Structure formats: C-alpha cells, structure tokens
Amino acid sequence: MSFGAVISDAEGLRLTAEERALFRDMNPFGFILFARNIDSADQVRALCDDFREAVGRNCPITIDQEGGRVQRLRAPLAREWVPPLDHTARAGDQADRAMYLRYRLIADELFSLGIDSNCAPMVDLARDDTHKFLRNRCYGSDAKQISLIGKAVAQGHLDGGVLPVIKHMPGHGLSTLDSHHDLPHVDLPLEELENADFAPFRALNDLPMGMTAHLVYDRIDPQPATISKTMIQLIREKIGFDGLIMTDDISMKALSGAPEEVAQQALAAGCDVVLHCNGSLEARTQVLEAAGQMTQAAQTRAERALAMRKPPQELDIKAAEAELSALMGGQVYER
C-alpha cells in the first residue's frame, strides 16, 4: 500500500470522527504531536493508537522533543532539560557522551508513550548572529564537534527504539530571521557552505530521515531550499543524503502561497513527504489531496526508514542519570 506523501496532525487530545475518516481515506505516511495533543500518559498512548488504527498500520509518530525551549512533553510527563547549547557547553569534551545519554533518556520517555520518532538531531551551526529562535537549540559552532555530537544524539534515539530526524538540511545556522515568520537569506559561496554548514549533514548522511530548511541560499538558487530542485539535488548529491526527506512545516510564514500549493512545489522539487501542521480540517484535507501518494522512490526510502525501527535496548535509567549528572557536574533537568 502506498503512503500518502504527508505527515499530518490532530486538533486535540483524541481524533474526531472526521479526522479518523480523513486519515483512513488518505493514509498519510505519519503524524506529529504538539502540546495541544498532550495531557496525560494514557491519553497520549490512546491518541497514538487512534492514529495507527485510522491508517491501519504501525505508522511513525514524531514530535519535537529537543529539550529546553523546544519540547512538547513537559513535566511531569518528561524531564525538563536545559537548552542543548548550554548542555554541550557544560559537558565540554564529554559533550557527545552527555548528549547521547540525554537523548537516550528522551527516547525512553517517547517510546513509553507510543511515539517512535523525534525531530532531532539538530546539527545547524551556531553563530554569533544566529537568530534566537534557533541559536540555543544548536550543539555548538564547530562543524567537526557538531558532527560527533549529532551522531551520538542519533544513536541515543536508535538505541531507544526511536527514529531520529536530522534537521534542518542543509543548514539553518546562518539565519538571522525566524523562519516561522520571515524568509531568511544566506549570502555565502558554495565552497564556504560545504566546509561549514553542510559538513555535519554530510557526516550524518546515513540517517533514515531528514528535514529541510526554509531559507534561501542566494548564491545557489533564489528559491527557498524546501521548494528548490537545485537544493534538494545538492542534499542528495553533494551531501549524499539518501534517506527520506521531509519538509519543515509548510504552514510556516517563510513560504508563501496556500499550503496545498507549497506541498506540490516541495514534492516537485524532490522532497519525499510534506510536513503540514496546525491547519484546519479543511486545510489538512486540501494538502493531503494535493500531495497524493508517495512516488516509488519516496516509498522505498520510507520503507527503508521504517525498517530501522528496532525494539529499544535495555536501559538502566538510574545508572544513565547518574553518569549524566557526573559528566555535567550536577543535574540538568528538573525531574
């Protein structure tokens, strides 16, 4: 059965009858959760069951659980973490191990609720002028160090039975604007980008899934990367990423046009699946209809990504917490 080329969402804590019918008919590849979808552990598990029952398969369910400012699960359901940039700074030369433990614990929390994907690692390079919406979510400003940390973060997810989604390809750290509201532009030559911003993505090009960046690389293509054939080809060929490419949320203001039009543009550019968030039932219906089914190449990548879901390895939570606390010189979360 071919998947619909969309990752969709729900309006509330459980699926409505209309949402169930829509997802049954359109078979989106997967779903994403937001704070509005989260109340209690049992409720989250029930909603995840709703999604999977609607499409009749063990579809992936993802979330943004970076820790710090961007985490949909909050206490008491999950640990409240310091921002990633603060975490890596405190850990110093042990940052890769500390971040592995952080995300291994996060994966444990997610998997226990029925969530089997997470939009991390985020391997964008932090710069002095990186917009504040992004900067403290980064892992550092050195491409080699970020690559090591990113690999550790990805492995922490995989060991916990959770698929990592690397973001934001091919690099968002040069953004001085918030792409939720504006379209950032980058004015650097390709060679400089390849040696810096693109490098961590090249180092992690074997990961199962990746998310695009909504920004323009002016010296490469005038279109935002998400809807640029040139940039998607660059991600495939120069970065060497052959995993499933999903867009960042197509309803963000960096992209102009109706969501269903943007969905078609992104898929035409070479993205495999569209992430559409926070739309009305009518908007979700329009995007699902516009996107249609995955191409055969996208379907193959999707199936290959799903095959990387493995049962979580055994985790001694107290031992992991103790090791992390020792590495960090003290606790880095509230619970």
Residue positions annotated with a catalytic role: 180, 248
Q: Is 122 left (phi over 0), alpha (psi -120 to 50) or beta?
A: beta
Q: What is the rounded CA–CA span in Å between residue 182 and residue 74?
A: 28
Give how far the C-alpha of residue 57 lies from the chain's centroid of Cα atoms, to the nearest Å: 21
Q: What is the DSSP letter of 322?
A: H
Q: What is the rounded CA–CA span in Å between residue 162 and residue 91?
A: 24
Q: What's the start-to-end Cα distance of the chain, in Å?
A: 42
Write b or e for each residue in 17-46: b if 16 or more Cβ atoms lie within 10 A of its Cβ, otherwise e.
Answer: eebbebbeebbbbbbbbeeebbeebeebee
With CA atoms as reference, report the closest residue to 267 among 1, 5, 2.
5
Q: What is the rounded CA–CA span in Å between residue 174 and residue 186?
A: 6
Q: What is the rounded CA–CA span in Å between residue 319 and residue 254?
A: 43
Q: Residue 210 pairs with which residues in a beta bridge? A: 166, 245
Q: What is the rounded CA–CA span in Å between residue 322 and residue 169?
A: 34
Q: What is the rounded CA–CA span in Å between residue 314 and residue 159?
A: 9
Q: What is the rounded CA–CA span in Å between residue 227 and residue 276?
A: 14
